[in-house]
Chain A
Amino acid sequence: MADVQRHVARFTHGSRIPGWDRAADLEKEPAVVPDAATTEVPGELRAAIEDAVRRFPVGDSAFIPALYAVQAQYGWCSPEGIEQAAAVLGRTPAALTAVATFYDMFEMEPLGRKSVYVCTNISCSLVGADQLLAALEEELGEDPDVNLRGFECLGACDIAPMASVDGVYVGPIELGEVPELANQIRQGDDPLPAKQLIRRPCADPKVAEQ
């Protein structure tokens, strides 16, 4: 330990939370409600948001559907997309990012469009979820098209360990199946069709007896 680091930079170990060292850019204008007259919004995005406004006529209830629409349009909740949604909704973009960042399914950075969530909560981890995630990371970690992440309980402990591939629940996934699954994800194929939750019968023996 010849070169003991004498000077420990003040911020090295603490800055674990993205955004916390974000300062305002004083050259920018304040982010007020974007003026509808000068904010161009892609037609399909506008249509999706206006549909949500019709279905949830009170208050800001259309925020979450609007954010989903932005994510569908741009692949993530980009500042540009948020501003456009804000213009349609007549609210500030900050009001929308406050909501977007609260929820795990909204991406605030551009990421792969294929979402693969691996449940790493208790039930799944009791039967090997951490190993499953590691194996998938090995296969897909470098793939720029894939947004692979460990996720909290996905509500499918009966097929633990499991993953949600763009909303399709598959499990129980054996480590031996990981290369095949990874390939299907890369190719955009139906993931492990035989292991999809949607095809799984009820566990209760009384149901089968009926």
Chain B
Amino acid sequence: MTDTLLFKGIDEPGLNTIDVYLARGGYTQLQRALKMKRGDLITELTGSGLRGRGGAGFPIGKKASFIPKGDMQKYVVCNADESEPGTFKDRELIQKNPHQLIEGLIIAAFAVDATINYIYIRGEYEQQADILDAAISEARDRGIIGENIFGSGFSVELELARGAGAYICGEETGLLDSLEGKRGNPRLKPPFPANEGLFNGPTLINNVETLSAIPSIIELGAEGYAAIGVKDSAGTKLVSISGNIERPGNYEVELGISSREIIYGLAGGPPDGRKIKCWFPGGSSTPVLTADDLDVGYDYDSIEAAGSMLGSGAIIVVDETQSVVELAYKLAKFYSHESCGKCTPCREGTRWTFHMVERIKEGTATPMDLDIMAAVQEQIIGHCLCVLGDAMAMPIGSLIAKFRDEFEAEIEANRNERERKLAAEFAAAEVEIEGISA
């Protein structure tokens, strides 16, 4: 394992203030980048092999190269709306090392010639937003944000925008609508944000972790950065690990490390020696994997080959004592609550699924409902405007596929339980109904 990049010195007291950050050599990579030609800078980003850390894994260099040249106003927007259940890595970066993010963002802004830029942070991260706001002010006071920074001729503005509680605003076009003061509904694509994004201008949108990694790329050089990790999965990745786990938290790993090493080696595995029933490899919207998949390498391609996705890099461990129905219930409840309502399959499909799982819990479902539930997930996947519908349908679909027996057993048990209860109620009420014997 190489040294940490993103987490380098992260617990140093006062790192969130500009003096400490500068003392550690902060903003020198920005100064180096400002001396480069824009085209070379984008080549450098492309060469690093860094892929977007927000969930989709799109190479950042390629994304930056899509931004058209010309006089129009361009924007870089940082997606700090970290809301994918199980994911909390950006939070730690923002809270402890905000200047690293600002430095990476300004380098990206310079690369695509974006003079107005925004960080959109989820509303719940109030303390983190205050820290970030203070850091932006410090940077502005020192002339790192503003006119002609470091004498480069490049002028840059950066504002912090706070969300107000909506998972869908983590979807890049939902985020843009929210930033424009609208309901955070995802937009139809194309046009893609690179061509027509914020205020209809070309917009580069990247996640906090992605932008925070940029100073390291400048420091190590594209080759140096690309040497970390495995093929098509360059660099280090922050992994948030939570759920039934001994040592939950964020870990910076080199991509390609085995999943078992993360879950058991770093995080200590489930408490009390319990076994793993299943785990989400990249946040709650990725299909679940089981204990059989623990030796899969933790990188984009390997996880995909195992039938899931690296997503935001958030591992949620579920141990053997947990109920898959409860898990499906939480998933359906969450996604139906967070569906924006714009497109039919997601709006209706998530709510319908929620009601079906509810009925399993109530004891009014039959195994046929399981078939309907599975079919409804199929009806959602690929039919929606954005990926939120799929984000519920994929994990629930995978749960039903992998744990059908458990679902059926629970349906049966809950029905029996309900019938027992009803019978008891009838008996207590001394009800006599003709033709029905107790």
Contact = CB atoms under 8 A, between A and B. Distances in A.
B199 A58 contact: yes
B370 interface: no
Nearest to A164: B124
Contact of B248 (A62, A125, A158): A158
Given A155-B87, A207-B11, A68 B252 contact: no
Nearest to A126: B243
B181 A63 contact: yes
B316 A157 contact: yes
Contacts of B319: 126
Contact of B8 (A120, A205, A210): A210
Interface string A48-65: 000000011011111111
Contact of B123 (A103, A152, A153): A103
B251 A204 contact: yes
B161 interface: yes
A126 B322 contact: yes
A76 interface: no
Interface stretch (A6-14, A19-27, A178-186, A195-203): A195-203
Contacts of B162: 64-65, 68
A195 to B, nearest CB: 14
8 contacts: A1-B429, A60-B180, A61-B180, A122-B243, A123-B242, A123-B316, A152-B337, A202-B7
- Residue among B199, B248, B250, B431 having the largest count of chain A Cβ atoms under 10 Å: B248
Interface of B: 1, 3-4, 7-11, 82-88, 90-92, 95-96, 122-127, 159, 161-167, 178-184, 199, 240, 242-244, 247-252, 266-267, 280, 284, 314, 316, 318-319, 322, 326-327, 330-331, 334, 337-338, 340, 429, 431
A160 interface: yes
Given A153-B86, A204-B252, A207-B10, A122 B331 contact: yes
Given A123-B243, A152-B334, A202 B11 contact: yes
Contacts of A58: 180, 199
A1 B429 CA distance: 7
Interface in A150-201: 151-160, 164, 166-169, 197-198, 201
Contacts of B4: 204, 206-207, 210
Contacts of B166: 102-104
B165 A104 contact: yes
A127 B249 contact: no
A64 B181 contact: yes
Contacts of B88: 155-158
A158 B240 contact: yes
Contact of A203 (B123, B163, B250): B250
A208 B182 CA distance: 43
Contacts of A160: 242-243, 248
